[in-house]
């Protein structure tokens, strides 16, 4: 190796340079975290995407600069300010966690140690941490088992696909090997409010997105059992097989929790696979105050639970859990012998890739394991309770304001509402909500989302940040009124 190449490679991996940059990076991030929590910067410095796209286009760097300070400068001056300030108390948009700083440090460990995790020997500790986290989450559901009954995946969409692949295989044991064949009439019954990943999973699985039959919800946004039963009967009459019922805990648009107990009882009586998409709300299990919201969750055959939502983890980490541990192997009924050598029975229990789409994956359990170790069920439960309490507080404030309408009392931490204009048509009101949201977001005043339900548009807030105060809520209401006056 030429001397300058050798020097370059050594500089790339230099532990002392890593230490020095690391200290500076942590200082920078800690300052940024503090500023966001104290609302010392806008929640979003809006930049038009077209202009940004042009501005970021630069020639591919050819020479090594080896100047970490240069990177830190750009990070501080440009990259961080250009991002959504996730820890800002006015960040009320998506269901994404304001991540616990210690969990972020764990992700740094995961990145540098880069445990591939496909098989036990490519991440022994990583594997054991994941197994422990899966057991803890299962215990919270009420499933006590010494056997590991699930796996961590990169996100709820992939976790839903994994669970539904298992349900499909359960419905027809030869599908993995032989394809759908005469199983092409498999159907999935789910709430009209289900996350798009359910329909996407049906498409990926070759059933076609139209295999998903949307079930109407009641005024509280909960899937109606009577409608579900009728749809099941129609399927039977048409010679179609329901391979899964998917219930939400909670659904994305409104945070409503489907009636899990009655749906679960129906599924058990009719031998239907019940999948519960708890990506958003399963964390209510941590709270003594709110776990009743999820009564019946243990009746699920499969359950998805996102860590990067109400478990306050950095993205992405989701759990897919199965009531019957054996079902955790149904999704990927494949044998890749170059990976999975040796005694199948023994190996299967410890090699994660039997259960996931991912071959290489991050050591994503470390952050969850550490958070449970540091803060316990009690501490993490307090985060959930705070978020749910905040949603109730905001809904109450809006309810008492004559110029606002709340869609429904919050069941989790999502509040949908709209600002009213006297004598306005439905179209005018819809456009008004859009204008309000756009103005709030592009001025960096608040970040929130909007949702269209049955022809009506609602502003949608997700109360994730534990430090969003009642004052912030009043500021939101007053900001909306000011914009309405300006544009009115």
Binding site for ligand PLP (CB under 6 A): 95, 155-157, 160, 195, 197, 248, 252, 277, 279-280, 306, 316, 318
479 contacts 445 by C-beta, under 8 angstroms: yes
Rounded to whole angstroms, the Cα distance separating 436 from 460 reads 12
In terms of Cβ atoms closer than 10 Å to its own Cβ (0-12, 13-18, 19+), residue 9 is exposed
Least spacing, CB of residue 450 vs ligand PLP, in Å: 15
Least spacing, CB of residue 317 vs ligand PLP, in Å: 9
Rounded to whole angstroms, the Cα distance separating 297 from 294 reads 6
Eight-class DSSP state of 447:
B
Rounded to whole angstroms, the Cα distance separating 352 from 277 reads 22
| Pick 256 or 386: Cβ nearer ligand PLP | 256
CB atoms within 10 A of CB 477: 17
Rounded to whole angstroms, the Cα distance separating 281 from 291 reads 10
Least spacing, CB of residue 321 vs ligand PLP, in Å: 14
Least spacing, CB of residue 157 vs ligand PLP, in Å: 3
- Radius of gyration over alpha carbons of the chain, in Å? 24
| Pick 353 or 449: Cβ nearer ligand PLP | 449
| Pick 251 or 436: Cβ nearer ligand PLP | 251
Least spacing, CB of residue 283 vs ligand PLP, in Å: 12
According to DSSP, the β-strands at 241-248 and 186-191 are: parallel
Residue 186, phi then psi, degrees to nearest 5: -75, 140
Rounded to whole angstroms, the Cα distance separating 276 from 137 reads 14
Residue nearest to ligand PLP (CB): 156
| Pick 227 or 277: Cβ nearer ligand PLP | 277
Least spacing, CB of residue 131 vs ligand PLP, in Å: 21
| Pick 187 or 280: Cβ nearer ligand PLP | 280
| Pick 122 or 413: Cβ nearer ligand PLP | 413
């Amino acid at each position: 190796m030429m001397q300058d190449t050798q020097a370059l490679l050594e500089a790339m991996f230099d532990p002392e340079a890593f230490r020095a940059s690391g200290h500076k990076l942590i200082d920078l991030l800690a300052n940024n975290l503090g500023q966001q929590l104290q609302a010392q910067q806008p929640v979003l410095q809006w930049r038009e995407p077209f202009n940004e796209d042009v501005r970021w286009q630069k020639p591919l760097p050819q020479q090594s600069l080896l100047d970490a300070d240069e990177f830190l400068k750009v990070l501080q001056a440009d990259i961080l300010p250009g991002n959504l300030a996730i820890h800002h108390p006015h960040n009320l948009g998506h269901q994404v966690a304001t991540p616990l700083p210690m969990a972020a440090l764990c992700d740094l460990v995961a990145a540098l140690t880069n445990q591939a995790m496909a098989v036990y020997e490519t991440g022994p500790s990583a594997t054991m941490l994941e197994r422990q986290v899966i057991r803890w989450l299962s215990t919270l559901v009420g499933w006590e088992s010494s056997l590991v009954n699930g796996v961590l995946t990169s996100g709820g969409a992939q976790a839903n696909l994994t669970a539904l692949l298992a349900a499909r295989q359960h419905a027809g044991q030869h599908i993995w090997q032989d394809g759908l064949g005469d199983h092409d009439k498999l159907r999935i019954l789910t709430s009209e409010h289900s996350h798009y990943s359910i329909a996407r999973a049906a498409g990926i699985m070759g059933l076609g997105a139209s295999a998903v039959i949307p079930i109407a919800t009641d005024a509280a946004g909960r899937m109606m059992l009577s409608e579900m039963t009728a749809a099941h009967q129609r399927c039977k009459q048409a010679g179609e097989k329901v391979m899964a019922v998917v219930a939400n805990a909670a659904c994305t648009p409104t945070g409503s929790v489907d009636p899990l107990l009655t749906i679960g009882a129906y599924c058990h009586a009719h031998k239907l696979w019940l999948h519960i998409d708890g990506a958003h709300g399963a964390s209510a299990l941590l709270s003594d105050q709110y776990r009743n919201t999820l009564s019946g969750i243990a009746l699920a055959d499969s359950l998805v639970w996102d860590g990067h939502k109400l478990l306050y983890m950095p993205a992405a980490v989701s759990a897919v859990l199965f009531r019957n541990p054996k079902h955790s192997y149904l999704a990927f009924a494949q044998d890749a012998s170059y990976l999975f050598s040796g005694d199948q029975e023994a190996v299967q229990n410890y090699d994660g890739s039997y259960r996931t789409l991912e071959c290489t994956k991050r050591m994503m359990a470390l952050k969850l394991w550490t958070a449970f170790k540091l803060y316990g069920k009690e501490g993490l439960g307090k985060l959930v309770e705070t978020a749910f309490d905040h949603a109730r507080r905001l809904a109450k404030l809006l309810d008492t304001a004559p110029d606002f309408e709340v869609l429904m009392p919050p069941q989790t931490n999502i509040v949908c509402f709209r600002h009213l204009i006297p004598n306005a048509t439905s179209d005018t009101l819809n456009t008004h909500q859009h204008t309000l949201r756009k103005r709030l977001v592009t001025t960096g005043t608040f970040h929130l989302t909007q949702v269209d339900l049955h022809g009506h548009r609602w502003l949608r807030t997700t109360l994730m940040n534990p430090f969003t105060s009642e004052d912030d809520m009043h500021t939101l209401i007053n900001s909306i009124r000011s914009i309405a006056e300006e544009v009115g």
